[in-house]
Amino acid sequence: MFESRKGNRDSRIDFERELNILVENVRSGKVTFSPETKGVVQDLVKVRSSPNKRFDLNTISEIVRAMAMSARFPRH
């Protein structure tokens, strides 16, 4: 057989789970932003979701994708 080359995420469900973890961390105050990261905050504000809580992948920038991927790593 062969190994998957997809990396950390295997599906849209995993990616949306990571986005939800990022949202929870921002809301709970575990993730904060300095004034110099105004562009990141603007990108986060642009992310849209539908009434069924699915994210519109066209509204997610690369920096938001990177933040979501790092949001699930445990903190020591």
Average pLDDT over residues 40-56: 89
Where do runs of H (alpha helix) occur along 1-76?
Answer: 12-28, 38-46, 62-71
In this predicted structure, what is the pLDDT of residue 4?
A: 57
Q: Could you give phi then psi for residue 52, rounded to 5 degrees? A: -90, 15
pLDDT band at 72 (very low <50, low <70, confident <90, very high): low
Mean confidence (pLDDT) of the chain: 83
